[in-house]
Structure 1
Amino acid sequence: MTSDLAAYGGLFAAALVAATILPAQSELLLAGLLNAGHQSPVLLVAFASLGNVLGSIVNWMLGRFLIHLRDRRWFPLKPKVYDRAVAWFGKYGLWSLLLAWVPVIGDPLTVVAGALRVDLVRFTVLVAIGKVGRYVFIALSVLWWSGH
C-alpha cells in the first residue's frame, strides 16, 4: 500500500514538474511503473494526467500574473521563445493548446495562453485532452509491448 502511494505520488509530482517550464520527464517513469505491473494502469494514467494538467495551469498563472516581468533574467522563458510561442498561438489560436504536451513548444504555449488571458476553463479542457491522450497512448503502447 505504501509503495502504491509512493508510486502514484511520485508520478504525480514528476508529471506536474514536467508540465512546468522546469526540465523533467514523466513518460519514462509512467512506462517503468506500467512495466513493473504493481499499480493500476488507469490510476497511473489518471495521476500522471492530473499532475501534468496542474503543471500547465501553473504555467498559465505565470503568464497571466507575471508576464510583465518577462524581461527579467530569472524569467523562465527567454524573449525569443516567448515571441515564437506568441506567433504560434496567433497562427493556430486556442486549438494550439491541444499540443501543450509536445516537448519544447507546449510549455511556452501554456504561458502565452495565460498572458493572452485565455479563459481558464477552455484552457484546461483543451490542455487536458492533449495530455490525457498522450498518457493513454503511452500506457496502451507499453502494455501492448510488454504483453500485460
Structure 2
Amino acid sequence: MGDAAAWSLAGVAASAFLSATVLPGNSEVALTAFLYKWPDWLAPALAAATVANSAGSATSLCLGRLAPRKELPPRVVRGFDRFGPAALVAAWVPFVGDALPLAAGWLRLPVLPCLAWICVGKFLRYAAIGLAMRFV
C-alpha cells in the first residue's frame, strides 16, 4: 500500500471515529471512496473503519458512565432491560445509534459485552458496504 492509500485509510479511520460520536462524520462515504480507489484493500479498510468506529462508541460508553444520573426515557430503559448489551448491535444506526452507548454507560451495563455487541454491529454495517462495493 502506497503513501496515498495509507493516508487515505487513516482518513477513513478518523471519519469512522468521529462518526460514532456526537460530532458529524461520514464514514460510509469515506469507506466507499477508499474502496472505489483501492478495492483490493477491503480487509484493512473494514478493520480500520470497524475498530475506529467502535472506539468512538466506546468513548461515548465511557462518557455515559461519567454523566450525571438523570432519568432516561422509559422506552430506552425498557429496551436495555429487554435486550441488555445486545441492544448495542444497533449502535450503527444513524442518529439513534450515537445515543445508545451513552445510555448503556449511564445505565452502567457491563463494558466488555457492550463493546462486543458494538463491534458486531459496526462490522456488519461496514461489511455490507464493502460487499456492495464489489458489485459496483
Q: Same fold (TM over 0.5)?
A: yes
Residues 1:13 and 1:60: Cα distance change in structure 2 (over 3 Å): same
On the 8 A contact 2:16/2:52 being kept in 1, the answer is yes
User: 2:48 corresponds to which residue?
Assistant: 47
On the 8 A contact 1:35/1:143 being kept in 2, the answer is no
**Of 93, 98, 108, the match for 1:117:** 108
Provide the secondary structure at the position in 1 that maps to 2:68. helix
> How far did residue 39 of structure 1 move?
5.7
Segments of 5+ residues of structure 1 without an aligned counterpart are 71-78
> How far did residue 87 of structure 1 move?
4.4
What are the within-5 Å matches in structure 2 for residues 26-45 of structure 1? Answer: 26-37=27-38, 40-45=41-46
On the 8 A contact 2:64/2:104 being kept in 1, the answer is yes
1:138 counterpart letter in structure 2:
I
> How far did residue 5 of structure 1 move?
1.8
> Which segments of structure 1 move beyond 6 Å, counting only runs of 4 or more?
none
Distance 1:23 1:2 in 2: 26
1:97 correspondence with 2:88: yes
On the 8 A contact 1:85/1:108 being kept in 2, the answer is no
Provide the secondary structure at the position in 2 that maps to 1:118. coil
User: 1:68 corresponds to which residue?
Assistant: 68
**Of 123, 133, 136, the match for 1:142:** 133
Q: TM-score, normalized by length of structure 1?
A: 0.82
Distance 1:5 1:32 in 2: 14
Distance 1:87 1:108 in 2: 15
The percentage of counterpart residues that share the same residue type is 31
